[in-house]
A = this chain, B = another copy of it.
Amino acid sequence: MTKPSLRNQILDAGLKVMFRKGYIGSGVRDIVAEAQAPQGSFTNHFRSKEIFAREVLDRYFEHTLGLVSQALDDKSLPARERLRRYLDIITVRLAADDFTRGCLIGDFSLEAIPHSEMLRSRLVEIFAQWRAPFAACIAEAQAAGEIATTFTADDLAEFLLASWEGAILRMKVERSAAPLERFKTIAFNTVFKEQ
């Protein structure tokens, strides 16, 4: 069974290349070169770059959801602290790449969207799926009196994830954790302030 492994190898290479060059800038040639795969192998496995990119994005998101559940499902912590824990886990991941890589979901949101309605509509779904466990955790924190109920859990979850993408954007420019830490400190002392 060499085929499934080559397929995965190309998908792994695709993530690396797309992190570096974006969706538009990543040529099929770059991807197969990174995968050390023969030229023809890409078209054997993927119908188009667009479909390939969606699969790269889906795999990345699946991995992200794993980190979400690692943080938010840990019932040993109060709900409010679990939210913070997620951001800390991501901070460690971003630090491992010296803050040169951000979030593929954010990258595609700014860059791939004018070029692919398929990726845009997939991103709409991804943000909805991503928001759900955060909204549930925030609702739990609100019910426990840890977070104010001024805004709905859905709106707060959306605010958290969107603003976090903004912090990652600033991190990429500064190449430091400062924008991430600043975001956490301010957000958890204001919007997500302990009641």
Contact = CB atoms under 8 A, between A and B. Distances in A.
Interface of A: 19-22, 24-25, 100, 102, 106-107, 109-111, 113-115, 120, 123-124, 127, 150-151, 155-156, 158-159, 162-167, 169-170, 172-175, 179, 182-183, 185-187, 189-191, 193
Contacts of A150: 189-190
Contact of A127 (B25, B164, B173, B193): B173
A22 B19 CA distance: 14
A165 B163 CA distance: 8
Interface of A, secondary structure class, is helix
Contacts of A113: 172-173
Given A159-B182, A173-B123, A190-B191, A22 B24 contact: yes
